[in-house]
Amino acid sequence: MSVAKFFCALNICLSCVTPTIAALSTDTLSASSLGIQERMWRYTSCFRRFADDVYTNPAAQFHRYDFSLSSASVRGEYNKESEPLYYEEGDGYDTFSFDADAYIRRNSFVLWGDAAYNNSRLRNVCWNETSDSRLLYPYLSADSVGGDLNKENYSFSGGYAGSAGRFAWGARLSYIATVAYRGVDPRPKNITSHLSLYLGGAYLYGQYGIGLFLAGEKYKQTNDIDFYSELGSSKVYHRTGMGMHYVRFAGNNCESYYNGYRWRAGIELHPIDGSGWYTWGEFGRFSFEKILSSLNELPMAAVTEYQGVAGVGYKRRIDTTASWGILVDGCYIDRRGTENIFGDASGNIYPQIASMQPYRNRMMSVSLSGYYEGGTLSRLSYAVQPRMSSFSLTTTYAYPVRSMEVNHIDAGIDFYLSYIVGRSLWRFEAGTGYSMAYACNLIVATVEGGDDVLLPVLQHTYRSLAASDWSLAASLCYAYRLKGDYMLALCLAWQHRRYDIDIATHYATASLSLVF
């Protein structure tokens, strides 16, 4: 990334966030008059961050914090896998990012927002030339060569929540733009855009807010692969799931795009002062088409996905430093892929003669978590957070008959210690977890004379999904209070994960933040 690009992104982020903060700085609440150390301590406490899915409703953001807090950060990340867990995602990445965010609390309204720039290098990506592979699976464009992929991401979001009498309302708008490219053959250039709008309302009854929200999202990605080498080009495949691809269109059909839409609706219950019951339920539908623009806008395939999310939890504040909570939540996702069948081309136009739905992927997860947070001194706090969950994945393909089943049981525990001394704030976090795989199975039928070039990719994916793993993580953050109620914070974090298939992953990050 060039210096000019960095300062351009820095200027954009600051211009989005800083003027709003400055314009409202004279309008303060009693809670906002807390010192910056106290506000940082409250912001990172388990009491504030536990069971926060209810705040998907923008109207609920009005009761999320009783103080204002903003920050601007520069961050670097490094991730390395001894062997790629998934070929489509490579074996690691390097990232540099800048982000600025703000939560501004006032008597009758709340404003929040963020702006960020991210520059990444994804290493050794193979069998995938499409961005957002986890969103657009299984219909990815791929080739056998791959390589490092450069990626730049710009994101902006802002929200407003207000209250009058027994009613609260809110809205949030966000936009994410990404460009991914490679400077050597094969040379993909992927441009993505993701626009979302959330609208919500809540009725205040007693100590609770009862809310509803609706959301709409628009997603698009253009996918163009070029070859400049005089030695020829590699074959481009259009994947259809479970190690299959659309044989008829494999070759040099390198231009495609994706159009997607998501609709979401949810209900929630949240306590106004943060102490009490939390419940939420959400239903969503996501759909997209993959269209081959190099074949006169041929609609190759489409996906329809339904998602349901629900949770119930309880948090209780014991005193100014002590609290506890418990949460049960779950998620179910059902994704189905439709593939179109075409007749013989006439004038480079393929008439659609039929369609079928051979691909289906179902995922279900249920988790139980809790925490206890306390303090032994007025400026010392600690917390313990145990958790356990179960995860199940079932994928099927109609013809040739293929199926995959993976099940996991996970357990873990996290711990933190936070201490304010003088003008300094220290925070140490550590955690460990173990995921045990069981009842895993892969069934693969082949067709005589069929093209199974992608079958090793499927087998490798199954090997990684069906592996048990153990993880260990730790982080240390030091913040120092400057003049004018500002904090300068330096944070370091590290995570190690080891799988029983002799794959190890390492992750490290460092960030420098100005908090105010």
Q: How far is it, in rounded angstroms, from Cα 417 to Cα 373?
A: 10
Q: How far is it, in rounded angstroms, from Cα 84 to Cα 74?
A: 28
Does 20 have pLDDT greater than 90? no
Per the CB < 8 A criterion, the answer to whether 198 and 58 are in contact is yes
Section 337-346 average pLDDT: 92
Task: Please state the three-class secondary structure of 423-471 as a single string.
Answer: CEEEEEEEEEEEEEEEEEEEEECCCCCCCCCCHHHHHHHHHHHCCCEEE
Tokens of 458: 């499927």
Per the CB < 8 A criterion, the answer to whether 221 and 258 are in contact is yes
For the chain, the average pLDDT equals 91
Of 486 and 13, the one with more pLDDT: 486
Q: How far is it, in rounded angstroms, from Cα 247 to Cα 399?
A: 14
Tens-digit pLDDT profile for residues 345-393? 887 788 999 999 999 999 999 999 999 999 876 688 999 999 999 999 9
Does 3 have pLDDT greater than 80? no
- Residue-level pLDDT at 10: 43
Tokens of 115: 């702006």
Section 426-430 average pLDDT: 96
188 strand-pairing partners = 225
The amino acid occupying position 3 is V
The phi, psi pair for 377, rounded to 5°, reads -130, 165
Tens-digit pLDDT profile for residues 213-261? 999 999 999 999 999 987 778 899 999 999 999 999 998 889 999 999 9
Residue 66 three-state SS: coil
Per the CB < 8 A criterion, the answer to whether 86 and 464 are in contact is yes
Of 234 and 198, the one with more pLDDT: 198
Q: How far is it, in rounded angstroms, from Cα 468 to Cα 255?
A: 38
Report how far Cα 389 is from the mean position of its chain's Cα atoms: 19
CA dihedral 507, 510, 514, 516 (to 10 degrees): 40
Does 13 have pLDDT greater than 50? no
Query: Residue 102's pLDDT band (boundaries 50, 70, 90)?
Result: very high
Per the CB < 8 A criterion, the answer to whether 219 and 192 are in contact is yes
Tokens of 493: 């974090």
Q: ω before 386 within 30° of 0 (cis)?
A: no
Section 264-284 average pLDDT: 95
Question: Tokens 């936070």 belong to which residue?
Answer: 418
Per the CB < 8 A criterion, the answer to whether 268 and 280 are in contact is yes
Q: In what order do the strands lie in the sheet with 244-245?
A: 141-142, 237-241, 244-245
Pick from 113-117, 149-153, 303-307, 445-449: least confident: 445-449
- Residue-level pLDDT at 7: 42
Residues in the chain, overall count? 516
Section 274-288 average pLDDT: 96
Kindly state the percentage of the chain with pLDDT values over 70. Answer: 93
Pick from 11-15, 184-188, 245-249, 451-455: least confident: 11-15
Tokens of 48: 């504030």
Tens-digit pLDDT profile for residues 39-70? 998 898 999 999 999 999 999 999 999 999 99
The single-letter DSSP state of residue 345 is -
Tens-digit pLDDT profile for residues 478-513? 999 998 889 999 999 999 999 999 999 999 999 999
Q: How far is it, in rounded angstroms, from Cα 290 to Cα 288?
A: 7
Query: Residue 155's pLDDT band (boundaries 50, 70, 90)?
Result: very high
Query: Residue 33's pLDDT band (boundaries 50, 70, 90)?
Result: low
